[in-house]
Amino acid sequence: MCGIVGAIADRDVVPVLIEGLKRLEYRGYDSAGIAVVDANAGDVRRVRRTGRVAEMEAAAQAEHFASRLGIGHTRWATHGGVTEGNAHPHVSHGELALVHNGIIENHDEQRDRLRKLGYAFESQTDTEVIAHLIHYYRAQGNSLLAALQHAVKELRGAYAIAVIDKRDPDRMVAARMGCPLLVGLGEGENFVASDVSAIVSSTRRVIFLEEGDTAELTRDGVKVFDANGAEIQRDVHVSDVSLASLELGPYRHFMQKEIHEQPRAVADTIEAVMDNRGFSASLFGADADAVMRDVEAVQILACGTSYYAGLVARYWIESIVGIPCAVDIASEYRYRDVVANPKQLVVTISQSGETLDTMEALKYAKSLGHERTLSICNVPESAIPRASRLVYYTRAGAEIGVASTKAFTTQLVALFTLTCTLAKLRGKLDGDIEQSHLEGLRQLPGSVQHALNLEPQIVAWAEKFASKQHALFLGRGMHYPIALEGALKLKEISYIHAEAYPAGELKHGPLALVDSDMPVVVIAPNDMLLEKVKSNIQEVRARGGEMFVFADADSHFGESEQVHVIRTPRHVGVLSPIVHAIPVQLLAYHAALARGTDVDKPRNLAKSVTVE
Ligand code: G6P
């Protein structure tokens, strides 16, 4: 969703801001803007546009924007429509400019108060309130930092903020509560950003601000203050985000690139297990053994694709570990009365580590007394792992396409590792079985590559889907979540309405929809449910439906005019959902391509959903 970048330097920062905003585009946004302090004119200048960063960039170039101090923002509308007037930065009295991520809950109250103090509002946003509030405290004689510190004390809600002021052209200030914000440390220049990718071509040395922190940046230094206003030293991290993972390279879309990166991403994610020569609690953190040893149940919390990864894990955990596993959509869990069990391991799954509902569900679980918390996450130092006792980082590399692909398969690898670890701690994984699961993982990147090699056959199918309005996905057992994921991928990027059902449920409703216009995708690996799936397929066939079956090499499916089959080269046992995720990703990608949609930035969606 919204993104922030800011820079103070001895060079023109406008290209830094524009490049930063382009790197933040993947998060999803509908307008963009920058504001700079023009030291010569003693002014704050701003340019904002709805639509793409490139349009705003063209406007900034046309107006010859250049400055050594500036802030930029990509906005995903919440309070107030998608208009230039609502786009950030917001300016107070032509003096102070501010960008903000998050939502201010008491904005109405503050707006009334500020109106009485003579402030006029130009936008419908909650953000403009903060700009005026800081201006108000500035007018009381406070420094820019002190004014910010006074103002944030009066805000309720979530924010990451960066502020510049034309009366103080050698300073930028920033604050964080509930939304990520980091400070980048350069040589004679410093930066703020909501995401390290925005500044990685200028510096890799970063300080992650903590809840309630404020920061003051000059060209030569950075000071960080805690929630009580006391100066504090925070650790400096060196980011290992690779520039290559942020570039398209030879690919047409990030989604395509990320689908093809999966053999590498899977191999990187299992590396720790291989180095360790087996499953052990230490893979999850220093005190993981104590946390996991007497776990009686698992509760998984996640949203979107990450939730579907959790659904697969339930099958693994209940069958391999033999303990109950519940999986909840985070936004549901956080608002229901939950029966807490302190011996439950609460596992959050999040690619970004900043999905608000998942974070709030975790906080809720903790408030109920759950102390055994584990985060499976792809972004080091993001909010959810920081709030969790144990962490397992997937090593997918930066995922830019809104539709999650390599994050999903690496989450599954992490969840399988968790399953085997819990089983081992409970004496449920004897040496031979452990070795066979390790071997399965070792072979997995190759199996994923084999599935990717099916792409030409899938392209041919996708062309048939392009003209359809609806599609049905069927799966059974641990492949039912893969059917769900396939339907989600197709709908989010191709805008074809798609639904997934457990194949056994077909005759309880969806069969009524089946006709020759409704393609039915079936995930049918060679497992114990294969014969059942074959009967379900007959039910579709008898109603004139056209079927597209993903099977394994040895599944013995008869093909006909109505039944098309693509076979993955080999069946990989319990790891089969990971391999079967690949063809449904490719199908969605190529169907979207055939329909000409904006694959990496599907309409109305965001990569990181940091609002409710
Ligand atoms: C958004 C993204 C999805 C993602 C979901 C959960 O909806 O578009 O791709 O699966 O959020 O995100 P998370 O970062 O928590 O995995």
Residue pLDDT, tens place only, 131-180 = 999 999 999 999 999 999 999 999 998 899 999 999 999 999 999 998 88
* Per-residue confidence (pLDDT) for residue 537, from 0 to 100: 79
**Cβ proximity of 161 and 131 under 8 Å:** no
Residues 58, 61, 66: CA angle, nearest 5 degrees: 140
Task: Concatenate the DSSP letters of all residues of 566-597 into one string.
Answer: EEESS--GGGHHHHHHHHHHHHHHHHHHHHT-
Average pLDDT over residues 585-606: 92
Q: What percent of the chain has pLDDT over 70?
A: 100
pLDDT at 241 over 90: no
Assess whether 377 carries a catalytic annotation. Answer: no
Selected residue with higher pLDDT from 396 and 545: 396
352 lines ligand 1 (CB under 6 A): yes
pLDDT, position 509: 86
Contact 182, 202 (CB under 8 A): no
- For 336-359, b where at least 16 C-beta lie within 10 A, e where not — what string? eebeebeebbbbbbbbbbbbbbbb
Residue nearest to atom 4 of ligand 1 (CA): 304
Query: Is residue 275's pLDDT more than 80?
Result: yes
Query: What mean pLDDT comes out for the span 347-372?
Result: 96
Residue with tokens 């969703």: 1
Cα 174 to Cα 132, 389, 494, distances in angstroms: 15, 28, 39
608 pLDDT tier (thresholds 50, 70, 90): confident
Q: Are 397 and 242 in contact (CB under 8 A)?
A: yes
What is the average pLDDT across 211-224? 97
Structural domains of the chain, ranges and CATH numbers in brackets: 3-246 (3.60.20.10), 254-451 (3.40.50.10490), 455-595 (3.40.50.10490)
Nearest Cα to Cα of residue 83 among 128, 130, 124, 28: 124
Does residue 64 sit in helix, strand or coil? Answer: coil
Task: For 252, list phi and psi in degrees, rounded to 5.
Answer: -85, -35
For residue 521, give the nearest of 569, 484, 472 by alpha carbon: 472
Q: What residues contact residue 260 under an 8 Å CB cut-off, 6+ apart?
A: 251, 452
Cα(366)–Cα(360) distance, rounded to whole angstroms? 10
Catalytic residue status for 507: no
Q: Give the per-residue pLDDT at 604.
A: 83
- Note the pLDDT of residue 610: 76
Q: Is the CB of 375 under 6 A from ligand 1?
A: no
Rounded to the nearest angstrom, the distance between the alpha carbon of 99 and the centre of ligand 1 is 24
Decide if 158 contacts 103 (C-beta within 8 A). Answer: yes
Region 217-245: mean pLDDT is: 93
Residue 611's pLDDT band (boundaries 50, 70, 90)? confident
Between the CA of 307 and the centroid of ligand 1 the distance, in Å, is: 9
pLDDT at position 201: 92
303 in contact with ligand 1, CB cutoff 6 A: yes
Distance 155 CA to ligand 1 centre (A): 28
- Report how far Cα 127 is from the mean position of its chain's Cα atoms: 24
The winner for highest mean pLDDT among 43-52, 237-246, 512-521 is 43-52
User: Is 350 close to ligand 1, i.e. is its CB under 6 Å away?
Assistant: yes
Q: Is the pLDDT of residue 337 over 90?
A: yes
Amino acid 217: pLDDT: 98
Does the Cβ of 402 fall within 6 Å of ligand 1? yes
What are the residues whose beta carbons fall under 8 Å from the beta carbon of 435, sequence distance 6 or more?
none
Asked if 404 and 304 count as a contact pair (C-beta separation under 8 A), the reply is yes
**In the prediction, which pLDDT does 158 show?**
87
| The one catalytic residue among 166, 489, 491, 607 | 607
447 in ligand 1 pocket by Cβ < 6 Å? no
The CB of 355 under 6 Å from ligand 1? The reply is yes
pLDDT at 40 over 80: no
Q: With a cut of 90, say whether residue 453 has pLDDT above it.
A: yes
Residue 261 CA to ligand 1 centre (angstroms): 19
Confidence of residue 294 (pLDDT cuts 50, 70, 90): very high
pLDDT tens column, 480-492? 999 999 999 999 9
Q: Is the CB of 605 under 6 A from ligand 1?
A: yes
Q: Check residue 173 and give its pLDDT.
A: 98
Q: What is the mean pLDDT of residues 459-478?
A: 94
Mean pLDDT for 278-299 is 95
- Is pLDDT above 90 for 506? no
Mean pLDDT of 382-398: 94
- Confidence (pTM): 0.87
Q: Which residues of 124-145 are buried (b: 16+ CB within 10 A; e: fewer)?
A: ebbbbbbbbbbbbbbeeebebb
Per-residue pLDDT band for 238 (boundaries 50, 70, 90) equals: very high
Q: Which of 29, 303, 360 to mutate to test the pocket of ligand 1 (most atoms within 8 A of CB)?
A: 303
C-alpha 327/C-alpha 61 separation (Å) is: 50
Return the pLDDT at 575.
Answer: 96
Q: Is the model's pLDDT at 569 over the cut of 80? A: no
The per-residue pLDDT for 12 is 97
What the block records as the tokens of 228 is 């009580």
Minimum-distance ligand 1 atom for the alpha carbon of 407:
16
Please state the rounded mean pLDDT for residues 186-205. Answer: 95
Q: Residue 550: is its pLDDT beyond 90?
A: yes
pLDDT category at 35 given cuts 50, 70, 90 is very high
Mean pLDDT, to the nearest integer, of 180-208? 95
What residue type is 300 in one-letter code?
A: I
The pLDDT-based confidence of 525 (bands split at 50, 70, 90) is confident
Report CA(306)–ligand 1 centroid distance (Å): 7
What separation in Å is there between the alpha carbon of 611 and the centre of ligand 1?
Answer: 12
Give me the chain's average pLDDT, please: 93
Rounded CA gap, 392 and 422, in Å? 14
Compute the distance between CA of residue 110 and CA of residue 158 in angstroms, rounded to an integer. Answer: 15
What is the atom index within ligand 1 of the atom nearest the CA of 606? Answer: 8
- Amino acid occupying residue 249: G
Report the half-sphere exposure of 463 (CA within 13 A, side-chain side).
5
